[in-house]
């Protein structure tokens, strides 16, 4: 019982200082490492984890069996392992160690699986098992040694389980490993093979990560085709000594495999030929160039080689990178011109990139980092004009039309799910840039292109939210409009009732439908006005952390950080995943947001004042043209204020014989009271319906009507 042997693990390591130390570690082998199976009579395991189901789910392996996984399956197929149907899995200690070394998030998930008792994942301590210990042989890499350790562990299990008539299979994605295992008379399958054979889980095959089967580490080094760029220090030193030259790279207009670098001190520019020599430099970059010896100088090619055309031709052929490069070099060589030899060189480093926006590569991830390739800038109107003009059939316009169609479909989906469409009247000022005064006001038209942009923005927001929530179920930062309490709707409902309209506010979908059904023939604005009133009832959007469900711009930054972690472009920091901290943050955000809103409302008042001043000025101008029309506004006799009666239930204001209900037509006079310079106010006075002692006569007798507006409840 206990220790059997002591081994010494010896290896060399280079320290940060540059010293080489010999590390010697003791490694003890034991004879009391158990297999973990409940039904095993040989082992004296106190808490066996593995048990055997009576039937097997797999058509490949008809008997009930255990599964042993290798490192790559643990790393790449962790989602498959998380599925409920995968249980009774043996994880060798070697695999756990390797996973911890290679990927911390996956290691965390693996450990969670192991802790979950229902999953029945058993860690087999094969490194300390005296029959399973494997020493690295000469000519064997560390990875090969680990693979061999896993194979030996699996073989040991097979021998051991034979005594109690149970079976084990090895799950590996490495075809070479799988074949070696089969030679040892063990059963091994790739994840794909195994999952396809499961009878009850057809959907699991989708979760199997598509593979690249492992070809080993060699391909990684092979893929480094381009010469690595020199470090900045080295480039600087070499520039000083004259070994390198600096200049601006200009790609040849008709040949993407050729470029020229204008270098100070040389009359001719330096020619760079071939993709490898251009070494990932782009047009207008400042590059460091090494001149090649004279016997390697070339002539510029006189063929036209178009990059996009080349890609078109070659896109279906799957050829190795080296072959592709060779083809390009042949093309260049074939097109050697007749001119003089030009000094030729190669790019060894890029000193400064020319900043530009480029399209990124779309990875198979649902989200990814990318850069936007800007084709141009269009205003809403310009875009709309393009879409509407049937003569415009260029790529840009057609893609706009496609986007528009997609946007419409997205919108329809949303509406069917119950989205609310609430209108808001917006006016746009045209300001004269010289005098800085308002010259015109127009109502903002709602264009299709605006909806288009809105739909895609919504799509991005929804996708981010879903993604962060999926990956961080308890600390994603989300935003929502909470459902308004019924009390919010009361004023709206009463106002609607006074016009004999019933609105169903039980859900957003029913409300949307009710609003859609409301029209007034004589009043085209009626529906919009009702929607505006509905908007007032809604709750403000609040930020909250999904973990604490507490409501909390800065929010965007947090979401970006979470997304970056998901695509492993960035690492997390502890506060990012702390629900309490995020909740505090949300509260802070909401507070700042409220204060900003108050500031906004204040500025809205200023805007209203501006509007009134403008209207006033316009009228004054007209009056100047028709001096006969000028009439002094009548002073409102405040002393003899008439009696107003306000009926809350049926919602009307009555004064004498005049009854004013919500949505009735009114004429009002809007002025700016500038008596108090520090606190200018907008004053609106009633003109029609005429209430003696209260309403004022109109200033205008003909032409331009004053603006119509809804009457708000006025409590006297």
Partner 1 sequence: MADISLSEAEKRYIVDGVKLGIRVDGRERLDYRQLEIETGLVSTANGSARVRLGCTDVLITVKMEMEPPPPQQPNDGQIHFFVNCSANAAPEFEGRGGEDLATSLSAMLDRLYSSPLSLDTSRLCVVPGKHVKVLYVDVEILECGGNLFDTVSLGVKAALWATRMPRIYITGEDGGELEFMVSDNPQEVDRVDVSNAPILITHLRITENLTVIDPTPEEECCGPVQVVVGVTPKGLITTTQQLGAGTFAPQTLSASLKSAQELGVKIHHQLMQRLLQEESIPNRKTKGFL
| Orientation of helix 448-471 relative to helix 380-388, angle to 10° | 110
Judged by beta carbon, residue 59 or residue 231, the one nearer partner 1 is: 231
Selected binder of partner 1 within 24, 361, 417, 443 (CB under 8 A):
24
| Orientation of helix 448-471 relative to helix 554-566, angle to 10° | 60
Strands 121-124 and 270-273: unpaired
Give the residue among 118, 120, 174 at the shortest CA–CA distance from 151: 174
- The span of 4-12, 428-436, 506-514, 708-716 binding partner 1 (CB under 8 A) equals 4-12
Q: Shortest approach of partner 1 to residue 8 CB, angstroms?
A: 6
Residues within window 268-307 making contact with partner 1, judged by CB under 8 A: none
- CA distance linking residue 129 with residue 378, whole number of Å: 70
- The span of 20-28, 256-264, 514-522, 686-694 binding partner 1 (CB under 8 A) equals 20-28
Q: Shortest approach of partner 1 to residue 137 CB, angstroms?
A: 8
Residues within window 631-690 making contact with partner 1, judged by CB under 8 A: none
Selected binder of partner 1 within 1, 2, 13, 443 (CB under 8 A):
13
Tokens of 241: 């000594």
Judged by beta carbon, residue 15 or residue 118, the one nearer partner 1 is: 15
- CA distance linking residue 273 with residue 347, whole number of Å: 10
Residue with tokens 């005049």: 658
Under a CB-based contact definition with an 8 Å cutoff, are residues 533 and 541 in contact? Answer: no
Q: Shortest approach of partner 1 to residue 101 CB, angstroms?
A: 14
Judged by beta carbon, residue 233 or residue 702, the one nearer partner 1 is: 233
Tokens of 619: 């009228």
H helices, E strands: number in the chain: 21, 22
Judged by beta carbon, residue 8 or residue 55, the one nearer partner 1 is: 8
Judged by beta carbon, residue 237 or residue 296, the one nearer partner 1 is: 237
Largest alpha-carbon pair distance within the chain? 119
| Orientation of helix 142-162 relative to helix 93-102, angle to 10° | 150
Q: Shortest approach of partner 1 to residue 234 CB, angstroms?
A: 4
Q: Shortest approach of partner 1 to residue 373 CB, angstroms?
A: 34
Residues within window 110-169 making contact with partner 1, judged by CB under 8 A: 136-139, 141-142
Tokens of 421: 């469409």
Strands 244-251 and 258-263: antiparallel
Selected binder of partner 1 within 18, 203, 339, 627 (CB under 8 A):
18
**Taking the alpha carbons of 234, 238, 241, 245 in that order, is the dihedral positive or negative?**
negative
Which uninterrupted H or E stretch holds 162? helix 142-162
Judged by beta carbon, residue 145 or residue 581, the one nearer partner 1 is: 145
Judged by beta carbon, residue 20 or residue 443, the one nearer partner 1 is: 20
Q: Shortest approach of partner 1 to residue 353 CB, angstroms?
A: 20
| 372 is a site residue for partner 1 (CB under 8 A) | no
Judged by beta carbon, residue 228 or residue 574, the one nearer partner 1 is: 228
Q: What is the 3-state secondary structure (H, E, C) of 379-410?
A: CHHHHHHHHHCCCCCCHHHHHHHHHHHHHHHH
Question: Environment class of residue 625 by beta-carbon count within 10 Å: exposed (0-12), middle (13-18) or buried (19+)?
Answer: exposed
Give the residue among 12, 29, 30 at the shortest CA–CA distance from 21: 12
Under a CB-based contact definition with an 8 Å cutoff, are residues 191 and 173 in contact? Answer: yes
Q: Shortest approach of partner 1 to residue 231 CB, angstroms?
A: 4
Q: Shortest approach of partner 1 to residue 181 CB, angstroms?
A: 24
- The span of 16-24, 61-69, 164-172, 577-585 binding partner 1 (CB under 8 A) equals 16-24
Q: Shortest approach of partner 1 to residue 147 CB, angstroms?
A: 16
Tokens of 27: 């490694």
Q: Shortest approach of partner 1 to residue 76 CB, angstroms?
A: 25
Selected binder of partner 1 within 10, 55, 361, 639 (CB under 8 A):
10
- The span of 3-11, 338-346, 367-375, 526-534 binding partner 1 (CB under 8 A) equals 3-11
Judged by beta carbon, residue 131 or residue 504, the one nearer partner 1 is: 131
Q: Shortest approach of partner 1 to residue 1 CB, angstroms?
A: 23
The footprint of partner 1 on this chain (CB under 8 A) covers a number of residues equal to 25
Q: Shortest approach of partner 1 to residue 294 CB, angstroms?
A: 24
Selected binder of partner 1 within 2, 14, 84, 372 (CB under 8 A):
14
Judged by beta carbon, residue 236 or residue 593, the one nearer partner 1 is: 236
Q: What is the 3-state secondary structure (H, E, C) of 149-161?
A: HHHHHHHHHHHHH
Could you give the C-alpha distances from 445 to 53, 157, 164, 521, in angstroms and in order? 68, 75, 80, 21
- The span of 14-22, 260-268, 477-485, 572-580 binding partner 1 (CB under 8 A) equals 14-22
φ, ψ for residue 381, nearest 5 deg: -65, -45
- CA distance linking residue 59 with residue 449, whole number of Å: 55
- Cα dihedral 255/256/258/259 (nearest 10): 110
| 19 is a site residue for partner 1 (CB under 8 A) | yes
Residues within window 218-237 making contact with partner 1, judged by CB under 8 A: 228, 230-234, 237
Residues within window 236-255 making contact with partner 1, judged by CB under 8 A: 237-238
Give the other-Cβ count within 10 Å of 617's Cβ: 12
Q: Shortest approach of partner 1 to residue 18 CB, angstroms?
A: 6
- CA distance linking residue 515 with residue 526, whole number of Å: 11
Judged by beta carbon, residue 238 or residue 498, the one nearer partner 1 is: 238
Residues in contact with partner 1 by CB under 8 A are 8, 10-14, 18-20, 22, 24, 136-139, 141-142, 228, 230-234, 237-238
């Amino acid at each position: 019982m206990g220790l059997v042997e002591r081994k010494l693990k010896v290896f060399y390591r280079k320290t940060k200082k540059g010293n080489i130390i010999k590390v010697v570690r003791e490694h003890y082998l034991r004879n009391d490492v158990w297999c973990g199976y409940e039904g095993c009579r040989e082992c004296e395991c106190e808490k066996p984890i593995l048990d055997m189901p009576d039937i097997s789910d797999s058509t490949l392996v008809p008997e009930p069996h255990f599964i042993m996984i290798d490192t790559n399956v643990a790393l790449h197929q962790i989602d498959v392992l998380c599925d409920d149907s995968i249980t009774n899995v043996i994880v060798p200690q070697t695999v756990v160690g390797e996973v911890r070394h290679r990927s911390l998030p996956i290691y965390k998930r693996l450990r969670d699986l192991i802790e979950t008792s229902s999953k029945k994942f058993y860690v087999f301590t094969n490194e300390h098992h005296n029959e399973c210990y494997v020493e690295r042989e000469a000519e064997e890499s560390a990875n090969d040694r680990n693979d061999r350790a896993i194979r030996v562990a699996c073989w040991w299990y097979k021998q051991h389980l034979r005594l109690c008539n149970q079976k084990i299979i090895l799950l590996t994605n490495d075809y070479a490993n799988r074949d070696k295992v089969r030679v040892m008379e063990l059963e091994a399958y790739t994840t794909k093979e195994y999952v396809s054979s499961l009878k009850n889980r057809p959907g699991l095959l989708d979760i199997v990560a598509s593979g690249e089967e492992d070809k080993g580490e060699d391909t990684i080094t092979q893929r480094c085709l381009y010469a690595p760029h020199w470090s900045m220090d080295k480039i600087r030193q070499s520039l000083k000594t004259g070994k390198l030259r600096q200049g601006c790279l200009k790609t040849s207009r008709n040949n993407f495999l050729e470029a020229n670098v204008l270098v100070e001190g040389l009359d001719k520019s330096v020619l760079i030929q071939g993709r490898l020599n251009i070494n990932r430099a782009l047009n207008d970059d400042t590059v460091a160039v090494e001149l090649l010896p004279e016997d390697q100088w070339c002539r510029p090619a006189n063929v036209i080689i178009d990059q996009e055309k080349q890609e078109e031709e070659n896109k279906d052929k799957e050829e190795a990178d080296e072959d592709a490069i060779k083809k390009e070099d042949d093309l260049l060589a074939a097109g050697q011109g007749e001119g003089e030899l030009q000094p030729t060189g190669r790019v060894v480093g890029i000193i400064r990139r020319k900043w530009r926006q480029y399209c990124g590569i779309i990875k198979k991830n649902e989200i990814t980092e990318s850069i936007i390739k800007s084709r141009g800038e269009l205003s809403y109107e310009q875009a709309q004009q393009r879409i509407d003009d049937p003569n415009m059939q260029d790529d840009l316009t057609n893609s706009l039309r496609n986007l528009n169609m997609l946007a419409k479909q997205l919108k329809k989906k949303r509406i069917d799910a119950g989205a609310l469409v609430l209108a808001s009247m917006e006016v746009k000022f045209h300001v004269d840039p010289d005098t800085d005064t308002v010259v015109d006001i127009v109502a903002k038209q709602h264009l299709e292109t605006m909806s288009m942009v809105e739909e895609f923005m919504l799509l991005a927001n929804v996708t981010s939210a879903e993604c962060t929530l999926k990956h961080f179920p308890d600390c994603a930062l989300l935003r929502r409009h909470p459902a308004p309490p019924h009390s919010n709707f009361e004023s709206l409902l009463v106002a609607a009732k006074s016009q004999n309209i019933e609105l169903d506010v039980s859900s957003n979908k029913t409300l949307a439908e009710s609003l859609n059904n409301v029209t007034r023939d004589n009043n085209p604005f009626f529906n919009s006005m009702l929607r505006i009133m509905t908007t007032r009832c809604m709750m403000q959007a609040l930020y909250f952390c999904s973990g604490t469900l507490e409501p909390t711009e800065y929010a965007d930054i947090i979401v970006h950080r979470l997304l970056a972690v998901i695509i492993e472009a960035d690492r997390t920091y502890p506060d990012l995943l702390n629900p309490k901290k995020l909740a505090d943050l949300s509260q802070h955000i909401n507070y700042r947001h409220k204060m900003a809103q108050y500031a906004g409302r204040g500025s809205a008042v200023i805007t209203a004042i501006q509007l009134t001043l403008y209207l006033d000025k316009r009228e004054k101008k007209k009056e100047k043209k028709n001096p006969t029309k000028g009439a002094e506004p009548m002073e409102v006799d405040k002393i003899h204020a008439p009696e107003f009666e306000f009926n809350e239930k049926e919602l009307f204001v009555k004064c004498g014989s005049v009854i004013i209900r919500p949505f009735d037509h009114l004429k009002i006079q809007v002025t700016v009271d500038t008596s108090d310079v520090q606190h200018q106010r907008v004053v609106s006075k009633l003109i029609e319906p005429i209430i003696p002692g209260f309403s004022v006569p109109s200033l205008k007798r003909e032409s331009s009507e004053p603006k119509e507006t809804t009457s708000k409840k006025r409590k006297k």
